[in-house]
Structures are given as structure tokens and as C-alpha cells.
Amino acid sequence: MGPSMRRLLVWCVLVASARTSLAQPTGNDTQVLFEAGRELLAHGHPAEACAKFEAAIARDPGALGPLMNLGLCNEQLDRLATALRWLRRAKQRSVDLGLAKSNIAIDDKLRELARRVAAIELSPRPPASATIRIDGTPVDAQRDRIEVDAGPHAIEITGAGTPIRRDVVARDGESATIDLTPVPPPPPPPPKPVVVTEPASHTAAYAIGGAGVGLLGGVLAVGLIGRHEYFAPTSDAATKAHWVDIVRYGDTSAFVLGVAALGVSTYLFLRGPSSVVIAPTLGEHAAGAVLVAPF
């Protein structure tokens, strides 16, 4: 016998068992709801049929027919985990009633759905103190394999340290392993670099100090050139007088300016003003700069 033929036979046995099971004492309202549900299920309306069977169970929780048919209508809605829960309840009720034929049919259906149902496995398994909720409904934390209907599900685990949430899409016939290893928090951002800016007075100090050093270097250079020209064998009296004037006025002025620039630079670096103006000057025998700063 092929799998499809066997499945059809199990279906027929379940339907027959579900019909005869209502021979047990039950309220008339339950019977009416059950028959309405069977009619809907036979005409391809499993969702409406499930609603009728659930209403019948609400009136008589031990009615085997609605229990079994809730398994069948949920299977047609591709809610295999839900179908398994109802069929397991039907199996227990069938055992209580001593209905051997129904037990065999339900067992066959349970084995078939157990092979097809979607499942979730948690790794590592949460401790016993943890609370696991799937779509807000608590489940047994110690189960290795949690059966779920196909489709998207939200898994939340609390009571075992940092709360964990995972989203998964379950598919019939597959077991999805959910990794519960805590995700380490992102590293803190690197500290912002400390940018040290030079005060304006320091910038001016460097500029004026550089100018002072340049002037003193010029004084030395002009002095050496003037000395060489003064003592040169070919120098006449006019040339010697010219270089004497250059060294006396130009070098002296440049030396004074250079020393003054170094002094002002030192002052500005230590505690000087933030606004300095340097203006160049040019004379008949000398060149230099004028320093303007609020003191």
C-alpha cells in the first residue's frame, strides 16, 4: 500500500471514528456544532469548520469527535503543530473511552504529522529557570524540539541573564536551529583625538622670533661682508666709508630690531597678546619692521 493510499485510509478511519464518537453522552448544542463543522470541512472551509469544532469543545471539553476534527481542519490550514496538539488530546480521550479503532487511526495520523511538522531547536538549551515564549505563548524550556506551525515566529527568552529575542521562519518538514549564544555588545567608539591648538599669541611669537633670528643672521652676514670689503687691498677710501656707514647704521639698526623681536617673541609666547601687527619699514641706510601690539 502506497503512502498516499495509506493516508487516505487513515483519513477515512478518522472521519468515521469522529462521527461515531458522538454517540457518547453529550449536549445537543455540541452535536449541532459538530455536524455544522463537518459540513463546512466537507465543502472545503477548514477555517470556519475549526471555529465550529472549538465552540463544541468549549461546551463539552471531552467530546472526541470535535477533538479529532480539530486535528483534521488545522492540518488543512497547514497548522500542523496545532493539529498535533488537538490529536494528542483526542488520543488521550480515546484511550480513556477504550476505543481501540480510534486509537490506531489517531496513532497513524500522529506519526504522519510528526514527520511533516516544522520544529525549532534551541542551542544551547536554556536553563530550567528560563522562560521561553513563542509568539507570546510560554513553552516547555526543557524540550529539545519545539513543534511550531509553518510561518514566521518570534522567540523570546527571559529569566536567564540578558533577555534574548530571535526571529525565525519555520517550514514544514524542517527543524530550524536557533543560536542562543549572546551577541557581544559593540565595542565603544574610540576616544575623540584631543586637538591642541596654538594660541594666537604663540603663532605671532613664532613669526616675530623667526624674523628676529633672520635679522641677527643678516647682521652677522653684513658685518662679515663689510669687514672683508673694508680690508680688501683694492678698496679705496670711498668704498671703505660706504661699508662703515652700512655696518654702523644698517647693522646696528638690524641688530637692535633683531634683539627686540626676540624679546617680544619671548613675551608673547609666555603671556603676550592675541593680536600683533608687523609692518615693514625702509629707510635711506636701513630696512626693518615696526611691531604694533597691545601691551
Q: Do 27 and 59 contact (CB within 8 A), yes or no? A: yes
* ∠ Cα 72 75 154 (to 5°): 135
pLDDT exceeds cutoff 80 at 195: no
Q: Do 205 and 272 contact (CB within 8 A), yes or no? A: yes
Q: pLDDT tens digits for 60-105? A: 999 999 999 999 999 999 999 999 999 999 999 999 999 888 889 8
Categorize the per-residue pLDDT at 34 as very low, low, confident or very high, splitting at 50, 70 and 90.
very high
Q: pLDDT tens digits for 97-155? A: 998 888 898 999 999 999 999 999 988 888 888 889 999 999 886 777 899 999 999 99
Categorize the per-residue pLDDT at 173 as very low, low, confident or very high, splitting at 50, 70 and 90.
very high
Distance separating alpha carbons of residues 21 and 251, to the nearest angstrom: 127
What are the angstrom distances between the C-alpha of 237 and each of 156, 221, 243? 106, 22, 10
pLDDT exceeds cutoff 60 at 286: no
Q: Do 53 and 34 contact (CB within 8 A), yes or no? A: yes
All structural domains of the chain with their residue ranges: 3-115, 118-179, 200-292
pLDDT exceeds cutoff 50 at 215: yes
Q: Which one has a higher pLDDT value, 21 or 168?
A: 168
Categorize the per-residue pLDDT at 179 as very low, low, confident or very high, splitting at 50, 70 and 90.
confident
**168-194: average pLDDT:** 83
pTM: 0.56
What is the signed CA dihedral for 239, 245, 246, 252, rounded to 10 degrees?
Answer: 150
Q: Which one has a higher pLDDT value, 280 or 8?
A: 280
pLDDT exceeds cutoff 70 at 27: no
Preceding amide of 127 cis, omega within 30: no
Q: Which fold has domain 3-115?
A: 1.25.40
Q: Do 269 and 201 contact (CB within 8 A), yes or no? A: yes
pLDDT exceeds cutoff 80 at 26: no
Mean residue pLDDT of the chain comes to: 78
**271-275: average pLDDT:** 51
**246-275: average pLDDT:** 67
Left if phi > 0, otherwise alpha if psi is -120 to 50, otherwise beta: which for 94?
alpha
**169-180: average pLDDT:** 90
What are the angstrom distances between the C-alpha of 242 and each of 140, 217, 267? 110, 21, 37
Categorize the per-residue pLDDT at 281 as very low, low, confident or very high, splitting at 50, 70 and 90.
low
Categorize the per-residue pLDDT at 230 as very low, low, confident or very high, splitting at 50, 70 and 90.
low
Categorize the per-residue pLDDT at 247 as very low, low, confident or very high, splitting at 50, 70 and 90.
low
Given this model, what pLDDT does residue 238 score? Answer: 72
Q: Do 235 and 185 contact (CB within 8 A), yes or no? A: no
**180-209: average pLDDT:** 70
What are the angstrom distances between the C-alpha of 193 and each of 130, 187, 198? 44, 17, 16
Distance separating alpha carbons of residues 259 and 252, to the nearest angstrom: 11
pLDDT exceeds cutoff 70 at 196: no
